[in-house]
Structures are given as C-alpha cells and as structure tokens.
Amino acid sequence: MVQLPEARDVAPRLATGAFLLNSGLMKLRADRATAEGVHGMAVVAYPFLDRVPAERFTRLLACSEIAVGGALLTPFVPTRLAGLALTGFSGGLVGLYLRTPGMRQPKSLRPTQDGFPLAKDFWMLGIGLGFLGAARPWKRAVSRRRRAAFSRCHHRCCRR
C-alpha cells in the first residue's frame, strides 16, 4: 500500500524538490564555460573530481539534482527515503561550502557575499535530516503488539 507524505512534509518537499529540479534542468543545458566554472569550484573542495571532465561532471550533477528533486516531488516516494537522498546530496554541497576558500567569514560559518548562494545548502541539509527523523508508524505498531503479547504472557520469565 502506498503511503502519501504527511501534511507537515508536503510544503518542504514541494519547495526543495522544485528548487532542485529547476537547478538540475538549468545545469543540464549548461554551456561549456558554465560547466567549467561549476567543475572548477567543485575541484577546489574535492580535488579527486579533477579526473572527471567538466561537462560530464556538470551533467552528472544535473542528473543528481533532477533525481533528488524528483524523489521529493513524487508523493509515493517515502519521506524518509527522499530525506536520505536530500541529506546525502546536500551534505556534499555543505562540504563544498566549508572547503572552498572565500565562502565564509574568517573563523566563522557565516557566509561572505560570495558564499551566500551556497549557504542555502544548510537549509536543505536540515530539511533532509528532519525527513530522516520522521515518525515511523510501523515501529509504533510493532511495539504495541509486543506490549500486548507481553501482557498476555503469564510465565515467570516475562514478569520482571
């Protein structure tokens, strides 16, 4: 049975999903100069990405944004699963913000003018972590069943 997202999760899923989907679609159509700029910034934070060609990296990044945005916008994708994808994706972007020189004020997490566009990734990380902590109704049902079974048992081993 498909379980739709709870009402409290709809607005953050729509807003974040639409943002990521739009960003991914824009990067998918990026020209060579844009791809090199995006790749160059990523290489500063994650040097191993230097082995990936700029246009391929930007296309992979775009596809990742589209996939995560689509998962958030698709109602039958469980919120916890969409949150896992969002947390992983935004965690990498937060790492980019933290590792790139000039994005933060000295000895602070506060963004500089250049870092302000990347600071939004903290919001996405927070939303993803919130989705991961979403209530799990099946856990409550299991514990209810265990409590009921325990209360019916009259063995000495169960009455501690």
Does the pLDDT at position 34 exceed 60?
A: yes
pLDDT at 94: 94
Q: pLDDT tens for residues 89-122? A: 999 999 999 999 999 999 898 999 998 888 889 9
- Rounded CA separation 9/137 (Å): 15
129 Cβ contact partners less than 8 Å away, ≥ 6 residues apart: 83, 87
Sign of CA dihedral 97, 103, 109, 112: negative
List, in sequence order, every residue forming a beta bridge with 111; answer none if it has no partner: 104
Sign of CA dihedral 28, 32, 35, 39: positive
Q: Where are the domains of the chain?
A: 7-158
- Taking each helix axis from N to C end, the angle separating 121-132 and 7-28, rounded to the nearest 10 degrees, works out to 140
